[in-house]
């Protein structure tokens, strides 16, 4: 498909003024040393989780801003309670304070992976390629991403759908330690992902998927207000579902607004598995509740009036309050947090700033 | 995922008594020489298209039955009109006369491909692996086929859906000449598919895809009666949509009955592009009509009473007659042919023979 995009130019100048890297952490960011050739030209937003008195070291030469819990409380006031504490979900504060078009977020136990030819993978360049080319959510293309060089739409793909739709989310994958839940970690402690699947594909409309926050990029103008990593961690009965929640919500909102979600390349190297016993404790409510949360999201109907990500998300908060409270009273707190999140987002990103663009 | 299937055993003894290879052709089957290590232990059903007086040569050592147009007319009588003439769609006659559980169908310009390690790909072994392991149509797994060795369901995949559903269809891909329509062939005459994507995935429920008949396997007990390659070719206003039609119809029926459809591996080597000028003539109505046929299939609602593939297909024929006639009067002939196809199928495959199994 001749998409009209200059892929070489994207590769050469990967929009360094249009993308922030958001990193949640509790430790020194030594992992950035290995990423230097790929990340150093970008601005970092570091969200420090846990004890705010800990001093986090960032390798020299990086341009960054760092927020600890005290900063979050100061900036958001009473609404700060919507940002999770002692949970990777705190990263979404970084999405809110960014002023860029694109966000790339990564965990600090992830490193540069190599493709099968041995070449180091430029994750950001691939995410940008995914985000800057259209998605095709309305019909499946058997040769995968039709906008990639050397491939196209196959015979039988309707011509009326070949223009595609704007891409809002690019979900990357992980070599080495796969993103398994605690039960699978316990059953298969030695399983490693060694398979490099050379594909990017659109997740079709109406289909949900487990979105992992470890290697994720998105267009915050299109979908930012729905990319809330939920209320998890300390003080809440659930953890490790922050990204899942955001994945279900953003997919429903993208489907409603006509935006696309891609998954596949780029891979990074996930270095170590988190403790499955600790994870099991964090996850057990989620493992139970996802059996009701997922059907809830599968059946969400948003109205025509919801024509921006923020409006969609407020409608979603009402539906959560109404329908998920029967699962657990926690979902009332969640609905409150969703509203606080949108209020905080809009305060930090007034509409005049072009954020939260309409779908029209 | 510990699927309970012995994949090694499948590899070693790939169900040779349970699978027929169906080949439509107009020429000597010299291409079978290269396939000998992989195909010779299977029974072939050859459907000779075009002039029945032509004598087709089959390499020695193969066990086969061959049907030309005279045979089809003799066996099906007046219902023979549902089998296309001068179109690859004639192959579906072979599905009807088979008595096996599985069908693999291949075009005679397709050869053995190699995987990236240089090993020749055993297409049938891979198709059987796809068909004998469950599909997961209700939620997308980002690490692709969870039943493959070395991978599993990722964090956030509902446990209630991990059993999967029976797989009815395995759609394989093509290296070298991609399956493009005539306009794309004309625009990109030199494009070759060189990308080996090492993945098998379930096409989610509710999502249609362009099913190509070049490298296709299916479970005829589950889906056979819906695998009608439509009325195309000589005497009809449309060609080269036989497999597309079957793909839309079988996907809708699989979704309704709770069966799965996979696409991806195995690859074969597609040796030569057909003439794009001839193809354009054959395809032009289809290119136009698919813009209405696809929405039609996307919106099909089958009833609870339709609990077998044959019953679903008869319901579908009524909907075609009712809703597609506005596109072209041809669709009345198509609806008639769909009914004739099911009548012929049931005559050759009486229910006692365990074909057309209920979804229950």
Residue B315 and residue B283: Cα distance in Å, rounded? 27
Strands B200-202 and B110-111: unpaired
SS3 of A208-268:
CCCCCCCEEEEEHHHHHHHCCCCCCECCCCCCCCHHHHHHHHHHHHHHHHCCEEEEEEEEE
**Quick one: DSSP state of residue A118?**
S
- For the packed helices A330-348 and A309-323, what is the interaxial angle rounded to 10 degrees? 170
Bridge partner list, B64: B44
Relative to beta strand A19-25, strand A167-176 is unpaired
User: What are A303-334's pLDDT values in tens digits?
Assistant: 999 999 999 999 999 999 999 999 999 999 99
For residues A258-279, give the mean pLDDT.
Answer: 95
Which pLDDT tens digit goes with each residue over B26-71?
999 999 999 999 999 999 999 999 999 999 999 999 999 999 999 9
Tokens linked to A251: 């997919």
Instruction: Record the tokens describing residue B68, joined without a space.
Output: 């030309």
**pLDDT tens digits, B265-309:** 999 999 988 899 999 999 999 999 999 999 999 999 999 999 999
**Is B204 within 8 Å of A199 when comparing Cβ atoms?**
no
| pTM exceeds 0.90, yes or no | yes
A13 pLDDT above the threshold of 80? no
Give yes or no for a contact between B138 and B89, defined as CB atoms under 8 angstroms apart. Answer: no
Buried b (16+ CB within 10 A) or exposed e, B56-67: bebbeebebebb
User: What is the pLDDT at residue B274?
Assistant: 87
Whether A182 has a pLDDT exceeding 80, the answer reads yes
Residues A269-286, mean pLDDT to the nearest whole number: 92
Residue B3 pLDDT level (bands cut at 50, 70, 90): very low
Alpha-carbon span B109 to B278, nearest angstrom: 17
For B287, the token pair is 């290119």
A interface test, pick of B156, B186, B265, B288 with most A CB neighbours within 10 Å: B156
CA atoms within 13 A on the CB side of A31: 18
Q: Would you state the structure tokens that stand for residue B26, as one six-digit string?
A: 């107009």
Q: In this complex, which of A155, A211, A240 lies closest to B210 when CB atoms are compared?
A: A155
Task: Name the band, by pLDDT with cuts 50, 70 and 90, for residue B358.
Answer: very low
pLDDT at residue A12, rounded to an integer = 54
Q: What is the DSSP letter of B66?
A: E
User: For A139-148, A349-358, B125-134, B212-221, which range has the lowest pLDDT when averaged over its residues?
Assistant: A349-358
When pLDDT is cut at 50, 70 and 90, the band that residue B351 belongs to is confident
What does the alpha-carbon distance between residue A255 and residue A261 come to, in Å, rounded to a whole number? Answer: 9
Do the Cβ atoms of B155 and A199 come within 8 Å? no
Task: Tell me the chain B residues in contact with residue A287 when contact means C-beta distances shorter than 8 Å.
Answer: 159
Contact B240, B211 (CB under 8 A): no
Chain B residues touching residue A199 (CB < 8 angstroms) = 197, 199
Q: Which fold has domain A7-353?
A: Spore Coat Polysaccharide Biosynthesis Protein SpsA; Chain A (3.90.550)
Cβ distance B262 to B130 under 8 Å?
yes
Burial bucket for residue A346 (CB in 10 Å: 0-12, 13-18, 19+): middle
For this complex, say whether ipTM is above 0.90.
yes
Tokens coding B139: 């939620």
Rounded to whole angstroms, the Cα distance separating B89 from B77 reads 18
Per the CB < 8 Å rule, is B209 touching A144?
A: no
How close B303 gets to chain A, by Cα (Å)? 21
Q: Average pLDDT, whole number, for chain A?
A: 93
């Amino acid at each position: 498909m001749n998409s009209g995009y200059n892929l070489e130019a994207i590769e050469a100048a990967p929009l360094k003024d249009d993308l922030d890297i958001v990193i949640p952490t509790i430790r020194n960011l030594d992992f950035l040393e290995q990423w230097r050739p790929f990340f150093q030209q970008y601005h970092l937003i570091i969200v420090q989780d846990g004890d705010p008195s800990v001093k986090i070291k960032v390798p020299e030469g990086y341009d960054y801003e760092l927020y600890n819990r005290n900063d979050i409380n100061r900036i958001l006031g009473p609404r700060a309670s919507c940002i999770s504490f002692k949970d990777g979900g705190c990263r979404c504060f970084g999405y809110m304070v960014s002023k860029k078009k694109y966000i790339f977020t990564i965990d600090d136990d992830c490193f540069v992976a190599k493709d099968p030819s041995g070449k180091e993978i430029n994750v950001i360049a691939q995410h940008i390629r995914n985000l800057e080319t259209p998605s095709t959510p309305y019909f499946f293309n058997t040769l995968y991403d039709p906008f990639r060089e050397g491939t196209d739409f196959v015979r039988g793909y309707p011509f009326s759908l070949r223009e595609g739709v704007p891409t809002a989310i690019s979900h990357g994958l992980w070599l080495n330690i796969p993103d398994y839940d605690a039960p699978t970690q316990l059953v298969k402690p030695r399983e490693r992902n060694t398979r490099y699947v050379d594909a990017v594909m659109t997740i079709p409309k109406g289909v949900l998927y487990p979105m992992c926050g470890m290697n994720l990029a998105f267009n915050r103008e299109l979908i930012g207000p729905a990319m809330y990593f939920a209320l998890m961690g300390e003080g809440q009965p659930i953890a490790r579902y922050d990204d899942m929640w955001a994945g279900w919500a953003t997919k429903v909102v993208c489907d409603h607004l006509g935006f696309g979600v891609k998954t596949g390349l780029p891979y990074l190297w996930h270095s170590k598995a988190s403790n499955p016993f600790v994870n099991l404790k964090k996850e057990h409510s989620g493992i139970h509740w996802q059996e009701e949360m997922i059907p809830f999201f599968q059946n969400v109907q948003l109205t025509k009036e919801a024509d921006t990500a923020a409006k969609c998300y407020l409608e979603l908060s009402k539906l959560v309050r109404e329908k998920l409270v029967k699962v657990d009273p926690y979902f009332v707190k969640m609905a409150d947090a969703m509203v606080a999140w949108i209020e905080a987002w809009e305060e930090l990103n007034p509409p005049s700033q072009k954020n939260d663009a309409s779908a029209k």
